């Protein structure tokens, strides 16, 4: 494995990002240790460590609002103020780098009063009824108000809303009356994702978070990733919730309501019920969904396996056209297309690369098309009476299922997209405590999946699943012969960008599934397959700029892009809060579930074999599969922009 960018997770460590960092003196060296005393507890920390970071090391909690582990320092809310001996004023601990020995007090009378006054000032601008807010009992402002004993509005309280709620986006709703100007959403959009939809306008008490030109969110270049929602401390940002419509469909006896569940929600939904991150509730959730009234519960891992077959075949076709047919119009690298946030990012910022996108739909959309065609025929159901619901970790999936081209079944392929948070609320509304549910399996014919489908939830998972299948179908060997336990670790992890090369030294016979497309693999002998993985659109931008500059990424054949940090497990619909540690715990749950599967390769999924035998009889990337499982090319590329 080679790396051509510096290792980084979602963001660099806090001490490397401080704009206020003071240059060391002649007697100080970067990396040297500095003494600090916090509430009487002495410790040594690396030069430049913030007071907030140091306090965590000795178990001293300092409240925060604008601070977030994923984001750069802002220091604007001041709720984290502390006393520093010798300083005339209180200091924001999140933005104060320790460059010399200091003594800090975190809970003096002056500090407590300042924090209480800050809370009172924030509440004087914060309009809304907590009981009707989706962040009720999970709101950082609400929690601090309780902690600091706010029992009346010292500086008044808005009696009516000042702003109209922005419901223009299919994915994200903005309620600026609940905004506390912490700027987390701005930093998320500009720094973390490098999209730049949001900014702060005006100064002082006239400050306001706005979109470009103060247009509705649905009219700007928002990619619907929902990362702003996951980092907003209040209810100013939330997902567009269709649960009332889903309940109405469940309660309608004329409707056959099916739900597919993606892998990432299973590793996260337990957090909504008080469990630690990384406790999977896959089979408990199946039981709960049936008790909620869903007629069938299917596994999105099935269509993830289907995606691997279709997308992998497309890659092989592109390679054949380039290497054998010498077609100069073939575009490399081929980009994955299962992350709708990434696809929209590409459409907005790199439209000249749209023909690099795989034409394969995402697993969510493939499943919808199969449900309303193959499944409907198999069960003698009228597709117009089938309601397809997708449980996803992603708010952008709400946008994706409403795209006009996503109706190749003759109907809307996916009717409703639910986030992990929304389904948890539905389960609670049904009076169900999810962790106590007995386990049950998925329903047939789409209850059979593989470990390759499971790992779609983590960054690098799509690439690993694709490599497991391509290695075996092309080389005619077991992937375990190259990678222990079929774990392709070079593409795993949270490095922002990862790169891997796979020399093809020998090939096997063409499998039955692909004999209609290829006669042999001899033309691949001696070739080296080059792949890359990127998560978060800031890293996607680096890859795209590298391709434009003719750098190492331009030599790749296949690149996996995920819009969200950590991949789907860090999606905009996952439980709040999020952090690098939480995302790592969810990833561990996903890989543990993969390891527990008896079948771990997409092409060995018996349900996939049955689908091609009974329905997609001409094989992958055939006329019917292209009609249902792929999107049509336009003169500009994959999607209609």
Active site residue 568: yes
Active-site residue, selected from the candidate residues 271, 314, 347, 422: 314
Active-site residue, selected from the candidate residues 338, 346, 401, 564: 338
Active-site residue, selected from the candidate residues 169, 358, 452, 602: 358
**Among 394, 452, 442, which residue's Cα sits nearest to residue 602?**
452
Active-site residue, selected from the candidate residues 8, 194, 405, 555: 405
How far apart, in whole angstroms, are the C-alpha atoms of residue 94 and residue 66?
9
**C-alpha dihedral sign at 550, 555, 557, 562:** negative
238 - beta bridge partners?
173
Active site residue 530: no
Task: Tell me the C-alpha to C-alpha distance, in Å, between residue 238 and each of 50, 175, 227, 269.
Answer: 31, 8, 10, 17
CA torsion 310-316-317-320 (nearest 10°) is -170
Active site residue 338: yes
**DSSP per-residue letters across 253-310:** TT-EEEEEE-HHHHHHGGGGGTPPTT---HHHHHHHHHHHT-SEEEEHHHHHHHHHHH
Q: Identify whether the C-beta of residue 369 lies closer than 8 Å to the C-beta of residue 386.
A: no
Active-site residue, selected from the candidate residues 284, 400, 422, 560: 400
Q: Which residues contact 66 (CB under 8 A, 6 or more apart)?
A: 74, 75, 76, 77, 79, 94, 182, 183, 184
How far apart, in whole angstroms, are the C-alpha atoms of residue 6 and residue 497?
9
Active-site residue, selected from the candidate residues 397, 412, 530, 638: 397
Active site residue 412: no
Active site residue 303: no
How far apart, in whole angstroms, are the C-alpha atoms of residue 319 and residue 327?
10
Active-site residue, selected from the candidate residues 311, 422, 464, 472: 311
- The distance from CA 240 to its chain's CA centroid, rounded to whole angstroms, is 16
How far apart, in whole angstroms, are the C-alpha atoms of residue 398 and residue 241?
9
Q: Identify whether the C-beta of residue 317 lies closer than 8 Å to the C-beta of residue 517.
A: yes
**C-alpha dihedral sign at 57, 58, 59, 65:** negative
Active site residue 359: no
Active site residue 397: yes
Active site residue 311: yes
Active-site residue, selected from the candidate residues 232, 564, 568, 621: 568
Q: Examine residue 285 and say whether the peptide bond preceding it is cis (omega within 30 degrees of 0).
A: no
**DSSP per-residue letters across 584-614:** HHHHHHHHHHHHH-S---GGG-HHHHHHHHH
Catalytic center residues: 311, 314, 338, 358, 397, 400, 405, 568
């Amino acid at each position: 494995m080679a790396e051509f960018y510096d290792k980084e997770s979602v963001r660099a460590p806090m001490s490397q990002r401080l704009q206020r960092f003071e240059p060391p003196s002649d007697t100080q060296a970067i990396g040297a240790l500095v003494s600090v005393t916090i509430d009487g507890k002495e410790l040594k920390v690396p030069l430049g460590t913030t007071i907030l970071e140091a306090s965590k090391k000795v178990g001293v909690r300092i409240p925060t609002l604008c601070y977030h582990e994923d984001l750069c320092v802002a220091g604007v809310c001041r709720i984290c103020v502390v006393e520093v001996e010798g300083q005339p004023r209180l200091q924001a601990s999140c933005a104060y780098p320790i460059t010399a020995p200091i003594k800090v007090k975190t809970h003096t009378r002056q500090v407590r009063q300042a924090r209480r006054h800050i809370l009172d000032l924030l509440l004087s601008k914060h309009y809304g009824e907590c009981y009707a807010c989706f962040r009720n009992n999970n709101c950082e402002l609400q929690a601090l108000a309780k902690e600091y004993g706010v029992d009346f509005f010292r500086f008044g309280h808005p009696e009516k809303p000042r702003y109209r709620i922005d419901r223009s986006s299919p994915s994200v709703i903005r309620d600026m009356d609940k905004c506390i100007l912490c700027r987390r959403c701005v930093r998320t959009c500009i720094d973390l994702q490098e999209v730049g939809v949001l900014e702060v306008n005006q100064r002082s008490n006239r400050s306001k978070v706005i979109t470009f030109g103060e247009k509705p969110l649905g009219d700007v270049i928002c990619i619907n990733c929902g990362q702003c929602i996951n980092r907003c401390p209040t209810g100013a940002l939330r997902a567009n919730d269709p649960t009332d419509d889903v309940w109405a469909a469940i309660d309608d006896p004329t409707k056959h309501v099916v739900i597919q569940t993606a892998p990432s929600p299973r590793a996260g939904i337990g957090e909504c019920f008080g469990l630690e991150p990384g406790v999977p509730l896959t089979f408990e959730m199946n039981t709960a969904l049936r008790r909620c009234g869903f007629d069938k519960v299917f596994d999105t891992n099935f269509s993830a396996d289907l995606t691997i077959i279709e997308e992998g075949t497309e890659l092989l076709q592109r390679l054949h056209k380039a290497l054998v047919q010498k077609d100069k119009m073939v575009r490399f690298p081929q980009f994955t297309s299962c992350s709708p946030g990434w696809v929209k990012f590409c459409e907005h910022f790199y439209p000249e690369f749209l023909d690099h996108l795989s034409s394969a739909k995402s697993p969510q959309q493939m499943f919808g098309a199969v449900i309303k065609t193959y499944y409907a025929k198999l069960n003698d159901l009228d597709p117009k009476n089938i309601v397809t619901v997708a449980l996803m970790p992603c708010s952008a999936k709400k946008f994706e299922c409403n795209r006009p081209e996503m109706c190749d079944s003759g109907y809307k392929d996916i009717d409703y997209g639910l986030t992990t948070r929304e389904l948890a609320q539905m389960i609670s509304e049904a009076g169900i405590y999810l962790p106590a549910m007995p386990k049950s399996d998925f329903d047939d014919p789409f209850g059979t999946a593989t470990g390759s489908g499971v790992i779609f939830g983590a960054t690098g998972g799509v690439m690993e699943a694709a490599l497991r299948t391509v290695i075996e179908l092309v080389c005619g060997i077991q992937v375990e012969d190259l990678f222990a336990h079929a774990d392709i670790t070079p593409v795993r992890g949270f490095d922002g960008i990862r790169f891997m090369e796979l020399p093809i030294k020998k090939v096997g016979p063409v499998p039955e599934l692909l004999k209609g497309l290829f006669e042999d693999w001899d033309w691949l002998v001696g070739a080296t397959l080059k792949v890359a993985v990127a998560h978060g659109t800031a890293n996607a931008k680096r890859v795209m700029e590298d391709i434009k500059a003719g750098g190492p990424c331009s030599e790749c054949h296949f690149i996996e892009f995920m819009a969200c940090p950590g991949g789907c497990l860090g999606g905009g619909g996952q439980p709040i809060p999020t952090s690098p540690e939480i995302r790592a715990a969810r990833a561990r749950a996903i890989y543990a579930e993969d390891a527990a599967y008896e079948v771990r390769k997409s092409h060995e999924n018996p349900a996939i074999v049955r689908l091609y035998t009974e329905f997609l009889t001409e094989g992958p990337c055939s006329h019917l599969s292209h009609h249902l499982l792929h999107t049509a090319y336009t003169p500009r590329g994959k999607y209609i922009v």
